[in-house]
Amino acid sequence: MNKIKDSVQQVKAFAPATCANIAVGFDILGFAFDKLGDYVTLKKRDDQKIVIESIISEETLPFTTQQNTASLVIEKLCQELSLDIGFSIVIEKGIPLCSGMGGSAASAVAALVAFNHFLKEPLSLHELARFALMGEQQASGAAHPDNIVPCLFGGFTLTYSQNPMKVIQLPIPKLYCVLLHPHMHVSTRSARDVLKSEIALKDYVKQSAHLASFIAALYEQDDNLLSQALVDDLIEPQRAQFVPNFYKIKEAALQAGALGMSFSGSGPALFAFAKTEQAAQAIGQAMQKPLQEKQIESNYWVAPISKNAAHVVFEGE
């Protein structure tokens, strides 16, 4: 039985950047930020090979199938579905490498979403997430879902089980997000390697209270409670070393009116929440100044949290 549509020859998909952890929800919370993202185009081949045709990026990325998240997940999916089909892959990277904004997840997700439109019976988002996690395992050494899930599902997500995959779509706060990228590289592997494998019970209890209060704030649309709860006593102190002047940046953000600020994913990107777009712009500029003191360039984006998930932008013969 042919599982592939004969009429479709190529599909292009977009996958948004994501902000993961959100200070209080290590490896389980994340939201989509579609101000930037990755595009992946799949074109049918006749030789049953998975080939990366080109990568449009300011940085060097691997063309080897097993080392690139976009090609890896397509190869895994073709093997599992026993498909005798090949694809040429074109990757357009909009998310900086090793930035903490879900770049490896976005490439994998965009490839999978494009692939899904070739299938006569498309896979569910939960099924696609399983394959995307294989790409995350390759990229970072850990199959964490906090970038994959918001990229696939859109909005603000809580992943409370990976096997089986279970996702809660949380209320989206009516806030603006500042996503700032210091021009540095911090690999997810390195950022995970510094973390302690055990924590004190009192610290676990304290952080659990922060997480519970933060989620309550989302449902109650209580910005004051959200601000009070947005505190990371576990991960942030261990990763602050990766960004020079980190605590000065945080203080500058809070002084400029941020409801909270912390790492986006494993960093070095940083996020902050603001009540208005004007406030968000001022916060972004304030966050840049402590980096400038260390001669570190940066840029930032401002946008509401996106409801939009990864999606197809072109499908044709």
Backbone φ/ψ region at 23: left (φ over 0), alpha (ψ -120 to 50), beta: left
CA–CA distances in Å: residue 94 to residues 38, 66, 103: 5, 21, 8
Instruction: Extract the tokens encoding 198.
Output: 């055990």
Buried b (16+ CB within 10 A) or exposed e, 186-216: bebeebbeeeeeeeeeeeeeebeebbebbbe
Better-scored residue on pLDDT, 80 or 253: 253
CA of 219: how far to CAs of 108, 153, 169, 213, 215, in Å? Answer: 31, 19, 11, 10, 7
Locate CATH 3.30.230.10 in the chain. Answer: 10-170+306-316
Residue 139 pLDDT: 62
The stretch 275-292 carries a mean pLDDT of 98
Q: How many CB atoms lie within 10 A of CB 104?
A: 24
**pLDDT digit string, tens, across residues 221-235:** 999 999 999 999 999
Closest CA to 106 of 313, 311, 317, 264: 311
Q: Does the pLDDT of residue 25 top 90, yes or no?
A: yes
Q: Where in the chain is the domain with CATH 3.30.70.890?
A: 176-304
Domain 176-304 has CATH 3.30.70.890: yes
Q: Which fold has domain 10-170+306-316?
A: Ribosomal Protein S5; domain 2 (3.30.230)
Contact assessment for residue 14 and residue 39, using Cβ atoms and an 8 Å cutoff: yes
Give the residue-averaged pLDDT of 254-263. Answer: 98
Instruction: Round the average pLDDT of the chain to a whole number and report it.
Output: 92
CA–CA separation, 286 and 273 (whole Å): 13
| Structure confidence at residue 4 as a pLDDT band (50, 70, 90) | confident
Mean pLDDT of 38-64: 87
Q: Is the pLDDT of residue 30 over 60?
A: yes
Q: Which residues are catalytic?
A: 136, 188
CA dihedral of residues 273, 275, 276, 279 (deg, nearest 10): -60
End-to-end CA distance of the chain: 21
- Distance of CA 216 to CAs 170, 173, 174, 317, Å? 10, 11, 15, 48
Query: Mind listing the pLDDT tens digit for each residue in 95-135?
Result: 988 899 999 899 999 999 999 999 999 999 999 999 998 87
